């Protein structure tokens, strides 16, 4: 099965994008002559990771390891065009990076397939180099093939062998997604406009922090990330609850899938809309209070005739 995956963010190796001696040696495996360092521009790119993406699919860490070997030597183009004139980059090295201190949404150690790519300097490519350095060209997509796509809920071939689970649907607290396994080929990577994997793309160079400052910085990032996860989980629960009241005709599985697929900002807007609609269809006042109001209104209409002597 052929797969295309898109991702965010890309990053240059060093401030100038100039390759070192080891980089040049690896690049020369794919060139007809030895290139000078000033002739080529190199950058690092995160191709894909083991997080569930916007398509409701996920590469396993073992799948990423298999793709690592397959992507070395593959070309880089634009929008998966397949045109030879769009071939401007080539991957010369790749690695799978594991962050044991970071977990993906399933609680597994976060893993990403990262690559180094090169392109020639000069001509139209200088414009591309400036766009990469300026962060204009960031999002990337990979095109590859896998042998097996499994269901995360039942483990069967997704949509086959009796599997009737739907991506994004909640089954007893488990959100269904497709698991991509056993890679068989890698075709290319492309710069694209709309990514599917928010965590991948050209990597941005960060200023180094040392010692206690770095530890404090990482601790603050972890705290903010945990706060964000808790806020989104609470917002999801509130949105689904409001949607159940506001849209009683909508199936619960469809509502859950819709909510889980939205970015947090859009999810917050949906929550506000559904909550307002739910309040209209189900006014939040006690029945007794409503009855008392109606009785009081009737007494005002009748006046105090019943109390005259």
Question: 214-250: per-residue pLDDT in tens?
Answer: 556 566 666 777 777 888 888 989 999 988 888 888 8
pLDDT surpassing 90 at residue 117: yes
Q: Report which listed range, 138-147, 255-264, 299-308, is most confident.
A: 138-147
CB 190 within 8 Å of CB 141: yes
3-state SS, 108-149, equals: CEEEEEEEEEEEECCCCHHHHHHHHHCCCCCCEEEEEEEEEE
Tens-place pLDDT, residues 36-72: 999 999 999 999 999 998 889 999 999 999 999 999 9
- Mean pLDDT lowest among 4-18, 257-271, 291-305: 4-18
- Mean pLDDT lowest among 26-40, 43-57, 259-273: 259-273
**Structure confidence at residue 127 as a pLDDT band (50, 70, 90):** very high
What is the per-residue pLDDT for 209?
A: 41
C-alpha span between 59 and 154 (Å, rounded)? 17
C-alpha span between 111 and 199 (Å, rounded)? 11
- Mean pLDDT lowest among 26-30, 91-95, 255-259, 284-288: 284-288
257's CB contacts (< 8 A; 6+ apart) are: 166, 167, 168, 169
What is the per-residue pLDDT for 13?
A: 37
Q: What share of the chain is helix, strand, coil (3-state, %, to 5)?
A: 40, 30, 35
Nearest alpha-carbon partner for 94 in 76, 74, 115, 75: 115
CA quadruple 83, 85, 88, 90: dihedral sign: positive
pLDDT surpassing 90 at residue 291: no
Percent of the chain with pLDDT over 70: 76
**Structure confidence at residue 261 as a pLDDT band (50, 70, 90):** confident
What is the per-residue pLDDT for 126?
A: 93
pLDDT surpassing 50 at residue 212: yes
Nearest alpha-carbon partner for 234 in 226, 222, 223: 226
What is the per-residue pLDDT for 41?
A: 95
**Structure confidence at residue 206 as a pLDDT band (50, 70, 90):** very low
Tell me the whole-structure pTM to 2 decimals.
0.60
Instruction: Return the exposure string of 166-183: e unless at least 16 CB atoms fall within 10 Å of the residue's CB, then b.
Output: bbbbbeeeebbbbbbbeb
Which residues partner with 78 through β-bridges? 191
**Structure confidence at residue 8 as a pLDDT band (50, 70, 90):** very low
Nearest alpha-carbon partner for 88 in 41, 35, 54, 155: 41
Nearest alpha-carbon partner for 2 in 141, 147, 140: 147
What is the per-residue pLDDT for 232?
A: 87
- Mean pLDDT lowest among 14-23, 167-176, 299-308: 299-308
Neighbours of 102 (CB within 10 A): 14
Nearest alpha-carbon partner for 265 in 239, 244, 226: 239
Q: What's the mean per-residue pLDDT of the chain?
A: 82
What region does 235 belong to: left with phi over 0, alpha with psi -120 to 50, or beta?
Answer: alpha
What is the per-residue pLDDT for 196?
A: 60
Tens-place pLDDT, residues 71-106: 999 999 887 777 777 888 999 999 999 998 899 988
C-alpha span between 167 and 56 (Å, rounded)? 6
CB 139 within 8 Å of CB 204: no
60's CB contacts (< 8 A; 6+ apart) are: 50, 179, 180, 181
What is the per-residue pLDDT for 62?
A: 96
Instruction: Return the exposure string of 284-293: e unless at least 16 CB atoms fall within 10 Å of the residue's CB, then b.
Output: eeeeeeeeee
């Amino acid at each position: 099965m052929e797969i295309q995956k898109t991702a965010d963010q890309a990053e240059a190796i060093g401030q100038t994008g100039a390759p070192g001696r080891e980089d040049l040696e690896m690049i020369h495996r794919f060139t007809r002559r030895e290139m000078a360092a000033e002739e080529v521009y190199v950058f690092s790119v995160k191709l894909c990771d083991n997080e569930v993406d916007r398509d409701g699919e996920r590469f396993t860490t073992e799948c990423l390891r298999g793709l690592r070997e397959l992507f070395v030597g593959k070309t880089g183009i634009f929008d998966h065009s397949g045109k030879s004139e769009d071939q401007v980059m080539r991957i010369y090295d790749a690695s799978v990076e594991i962050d044991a201190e970071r977990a993906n949404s399933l609680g597994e150690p976060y893993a990403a397939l990262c690559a180094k790519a090169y392109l020639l300097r000069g001509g139209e490519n200088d414009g591309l180099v400036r766009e990469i350095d300026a962060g204009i060209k960031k999002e990337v997509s990979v095109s590859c093939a896998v042998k097996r796509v499994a269901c995360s809920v039942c483990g069967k071939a997704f949509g086959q062998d009796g599997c009737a689970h739907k991506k994004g649907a909640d089954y007893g607290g488990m959100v269904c997604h497709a698991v991509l396994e056993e890679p068989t080929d890698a075709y290319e990577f492309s710069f694209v406009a709309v990514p599917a994997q928010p965590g991948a793309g050209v990597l941005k160079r960060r200023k180094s922090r040392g010692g206690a400052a770095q530890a404090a910085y990482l601790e603050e990032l972890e705290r903010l990330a945990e706060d964000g996860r808790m806020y989104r989980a609470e917002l999801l629960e509130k949105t689904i609850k409001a949607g159940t009241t506001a849209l009683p005709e909508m199936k619960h599985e469809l509502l859950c899938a819709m909510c889980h697929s939205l970015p947090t900002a859009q999810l917050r807007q949906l929550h506000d809309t559904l909550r307002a609609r739910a309040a209209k269809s189900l006014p939040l006042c006690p029945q007794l209070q409503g009855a008392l109001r109606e009785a009081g209104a009737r007494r005002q209409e009748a006046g105090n005739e019943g109390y005259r002597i």
